[in-house]
Structure 1
Amino acid sequence: MSTQREAALRSAMETYTDPYLGIDLASAGAVKSVEIDGDRAVVLVTLCFPAGTYGTELAAALRERALGIEGIRQADIQVDWQIGSHAVKHNLKPIQGIRNIIVVASGKGGVGKSTTAANLALALAHEGAKVGLLDADIYGPSQPQMMGLSAERPSTTDQRSMVAPVAYGVKVMSVGFLVDVDQPMIWRGPMVTQALVQLLETTRWEELDYLVVDMPPGTGDTQLTLSQRVPVSGAIIVTTPQDIALLDARKGLRMFQKVEIPVLGIVENMSTHICSNCGHEEHIFGAGGGQRMAQQYGVALLAELPLDIRIREQTDGGKPTVVAEPDGPLARAYIELARRASAGLARSSLEGGAAFPSISIEDT
């Protein structure tokens, strides 16, 4: 009888479809053990993406399923996670200590790429991952200001490597730490790409589950160098809903496809405007552009983020939304983005499809 109940319990657990992975827990290999002791069920589930807060939600859903089985009065559902390294393309080698590289990019500037990258990194850390943030926009570095590190500088102990400043649990590296805030970077393309590679390779990242790279807008030297020399796991494309922004976002997406970097999905930023006085919400830049683009190219729509004055104020103040209002609806939108992006990367590995590091593309 106990064996039958254990079989029923395992079936109930394994047939649950995870909303972020989009597959059942059996396909994800997530149900590690199932036991029944009298009227008490004990289940261990190990996910392949960070689930610091999501684990509680998943445990509640699975507990309800377990208690629906005859004879079970108590259910102890334990959810943890283990983030793996994803294979890299061609002859590229993983960077020591960095399991996955996610690049956030955009076809054009002004779409909120850097804000999205900062909040994505913080949201991944919020969910329990070890995270770094690399500001790859050499001409316009903004992450030191956004992450509240304007007065910080990298340190070194051996004159050959740099220790990245840390903000809110995220290691941050940017050329903005190394030059005066008013100093323009009047460099040609090869100097820019060399600076990017040097920042990446000489920073002592230690152990990271994810390195989020805030890319410059466009499809130029930096993007090409990254695809050729850096083991990227996947890309996220950031755009706004209007047709002009979508035209450039399509070029960015196609570029990553051409250089064989998997696109994890699209983020539609400034999807709706929320009035700071009355709370009225409207689509001032158009509606559904990101969804149509995602359907056209067969990729996921990872998030539809609002245009809200608080996001701008919090980022300008050096305390992005995920840490400024961690329990608020705006932070929840970024946390949902982080869950979908990390789960999508994990699923691609499970399916054996995308064996490369991750890049995120957003319009800045």
Structure 2
Amino acid sequence: MESVKNIIAVASGKGGVGKSTTAVNLALALQALGHKVGLLDADIYGPSVAMMLGVAEGTKPAVQDEKFFMPVLAHGLATMSMAYLVNDKTPTVWRGPMASGALLQLLTQTQWGELDYLVVDMPPGTGDIQLTLAQKVPVTGAVIVTTPQDIALLDAQKGIAMFQKVNIPVLGIVENMAVHICSQCGYAEHIFGENGGSKLAQDFDVALLGQLPLSLDIRLQMDQGNPPVSQDQNSAAAQLYIDMAKNTLVAIEALDDQSGPDISFS
């Protein structure tokens, strides 16, 4: 972990808001901007990153010195996931402390190499794994993913409050499924509500990092293991994720500015 410069936690208050899709494309977008990037799937119970990156079922990480995992490379990213260690068809039936221990093992016993950013795809909610990461790992900041739907926004507020309570900066909000554009007529419809993410960002005085559409193409690409940013960086979907990554970098730079100059006493 000493060679990882920044750790970005991608979290959500509830499941089904597109958090993993956002985490995968954020990691790829940071890489597209010229950075060395890793991606940890910290969703111990429901890992999905491997499938989204097109990693073949049954892929296992190499082991170094009988105690370190070597990350699995996917689309240029250094990745690690519980999906590489257990059978896809076998549920991980663990109590909280066991899941938290597994997360720490994946983090600290992986030879990440020199990374500018390690993106951590968190499980939904505010439970043991989130607290373990906050207490044991020097997280640079958190990205909160939500949809404009009222119930998702309510849960996102809890996620923001949790990170603030453990003194992890919230870099900003990503509003997923913000709008659906009909492929036949081009009509834009706000299925889950309008501007909920921007209002949430305003209420908590954090940045709105991006507003992403509810898109059939994105869903198909993710299911096929070909995320938009990995396929065509000039596509409209990829540009949205790259802009989101740029905004995330701006938020991280703002944290450095707030820290002020180093002060020493002689």
Distance between the aligned counterparts of 1:326 and 1:156, measured in 2?
33
Distance between the aligned counterparts of 1:317 and 1:275, measured in 2?
22
* 1:53-84 per-position Cα deviation (integer Å, ceiling 9, x unaligned): xxxxxxxxxxxxxxxxxxxxxxxxxxxxxxxx
2:160 pairs with one of 253, 268, 291: 253
Give the match's secondary structure for 1:195: helix
Matched, 1:115 2:21: yes
TM-fit CA distance, 1:279: 2.7
Matched, 1:297 2:204: yes
Task: Compare 245-254 and 320-329 and name the one that shifted more.
Answer: 320-329
* 1:271-295 per-position Cα deviation (integer Å, ceiling 9, x unaligned): 0012232332211111010111111
Say whether the 8 Å CA contact 1:150–1:177 is kept in structure 2.
no
Match of 1:340 in 2: 247
* 1:185-209 per-position Cα deviation (integer Å, ceiling 9, x unaligned): 0000000000000000010000000
Match of 2:56 in 1: 150
Match of 1:213 in 2: 120
Matched, 1:129 2:35: yes
Write out aligned runs for 1:147-296 (5 A). Answer: 147-151=53-57, 152-296=59-203
Distance between the aligned counterparts of 2:45 and 2:19, measured in 1?
15
Say whether the 8 Å CA contact 1:271–1:287 is kept in structure 2.
yes
Matched AA of 1:253: I
Match of 1:35 in 2: none
Say whether the 8 Å CA contact 1:105–1:215 is kept in structure 2.
yes
Say whether the 8 Å CA contact 1:276–1:308 is kept in structure 2.
no
Report sequence identity in percent: 58
Aligned length: 259
Match of 1:18 in 2: none
Say whether the 8 Å CA contact 1:135–1:173 is kept in structure 2.
yes
Task: Compare 275-284 and 154-163 and name the one that shifted more.
Answer: 275-284
TM-fit CA distance, 1:242: 1.1
Distance between the aligned counterparts of 2:45 and 2:229, measured in 1?
26
Matched AA of 2:219: R
Say whether the 8 Å CA contact 1:132–1:172 is kept in structure 2.
yes
Distance between the aligned counterparts of 2:74 and 2:81, measured in 1?
13
- Mark the runs of 5 or more structure 2 residues left unpaired by the alignment: 261-266
Distance between the aligned counterparts of 2:7 and 2:141, measured in 1?
7
* 1:58-117 per-position Cα deviation (integer Å, ceiling 9, x unaligned): xxxxxxxxxxxxxxxxxxxxxxxxxxxxxxxxxxxxx31000000000000000000000
Match of 2:47 in 1: 141
Match of 1:350 in 2: 257
* 1:281-339 per-position Cα deviation (integer Å, ceiling 9, x unaligned): 21111101011111111000000000000111001100101112321111000000000
Match of 1:101 in 2: 7
Distance between the aligned counterparts of 1:274 and 1:150, measured in 2?
32
Could you list the structure 1 runs, at least 4 aligned residues long, displaced by more than 4 angstroms after superposition.
none
Say whether the 8 Å CA contact 1:276–1:309 is kept in structure 2.
no
Task: Compare 107-116 and 267-276 and name the one that shifted more.
Answer: 267-276
- Mark the runs of 5 or more structure 1 residues left unpaired by the alignment: 1-94, 354-364
* 1:205-225 per-position Cα deviation (integer Å, ceiling 9, x unaligned): 000000000000000000111
Q: Once superposed, what is the RMSD of the aligned Cα atoms?
A: 0.9
Matched AA of 2:28: L
TM-fit CA distance, 1:349: 0.4
- Larger Cα Rg: Structure 1 or Structure 2? 1
Match of 2:235 in 1: 328
